[in-house]
Amino acid sequence: MGKVYLIGAGPGDPGLMTIKGKGLLECADVVIYDALVSQAILDMINPQAEKIDAGKRMGRHSLLQEVTTHLLIEKAQDHAIVVRLKGGDPFIFGRGGEEMAELVEAGIAVEVVPGITAGIAAAAYAGIPLTHRLYSSSVTFVTGHEAAGKYKPAVNWQAIAQGSETIVIYMGIHNLPYIVEQLSSALLSPETPIGLVRWGTRPEQEELIGKLGTIVEQVEETGFSAPAIAVIGAVVKMHSILSGCRPL
């Protein structure tokens, strides 16, 4: 019986991949990877390893979740090192907790290797510090794309709007009009700065900076699309000062 490693690949820049994660990719027997894992990270995989694309993107499902989990169990019975490679961090909106629980229930040895989550890295590469002594001492991470049949019917946007100085939204571009409406209903000012970062940390990274009251129109006018994170709050003002210092 082998072991499964749930590895966070980070947001895309290969330099942000952990040393531990890279080492496991280089000696893996099987790697089951997600759609948002960059090619530069995939190039680190042992050339002799079996590679399986299990990626999920809006409108595209390579493998159903239950099929992916079954594959992990099956491969661990025949191989020593099986890697489940996820974009960002496995435990931040990556379903890593669900997969790990099922593997444990099946009696499979499993270990999580954290990765740098996109909400932190993409914002940093865009010159947006999520905390700042003058602007923000609190951050909330929230998904903008909730699962059907979830334990709660919806995110409590009013509580988030009133309870956090910086809001980081994952997978929210598709539902941005609804999210903006909810935050506005919670009395968040239409003048609140918002920054959208697409393909964060990669060479093709794009940013769209605006205000809560007009960002939906900006997205429609520019054709700005997923995958992207949104940062809402006064810290976005720092983009104009820091955006020219993007890492190489």
Of 17, 44, 100, 171, which residue is the catalytic one? 171
- For the domain with range 118-245, which CATH number is right: 3.60.110.10, 3.40.50.1370, 3.90.280.10, 3.30.950.10? 3.30.950.10
Contact 234, 135 (CB under 8 A): yes
| Catalytic residue status for 238 | no
Cα–Cα distance, 209 to 33 (Å, whole number): 31
Tens-digit pLDDT profile for residues 62-97: 567 788 899 999 999 999 999 999 999 999 998 999
| Catalytic residue status for 17 | no
Compute the chain's Rg from CA coordinates.
Answer: 19
Q: Give the 3-state secondary structure of the chain.
A: CCEEEEEECECCCHHHCCHHHHHHHHHCCEEEECCCCCHHHHCCCCCCCEEEECCEECCEECCCHHHHHHHHHHHHCCCCEEEEEECECCCCCCCHHHHHHHHHHCCCEEEEECCCCHHHHHHHHCCCCCCECCCECCEEEEECCCCCCCCCCCCCHHHHHHHCCEEEEECCCCCHHHHHHHHHHCCCCCCCEEEEEECCCCCCCEEEEEECCCHHHHHHHHCCCCCEEEEECHHHHHHHHHHHHCCC
Domain locations in the chain as residue ranges: 3-113, 118-245
Q: What is the pTM of this model?
A: 0.90
Of 3, 22, 51, 56, which residue is the catalytic one? 56
Domain 3-113, CATH 3.40.1010.10 — does that match?
yes
| Catalytic residue status for 20 | no
Residue 101's pLDDT is what?
95
Cα–Cα distance, 190 to 168 (Å, whole number): 17
Residue 247's pLDDT is what?
65
Which parts of the chain register pLDDT below 70?
56-63, 146-153, 245-248
Of 34, 44, 86, 238, which residue is the catalytic one? 34
118-245 and 3-113 share a CATH fold: no
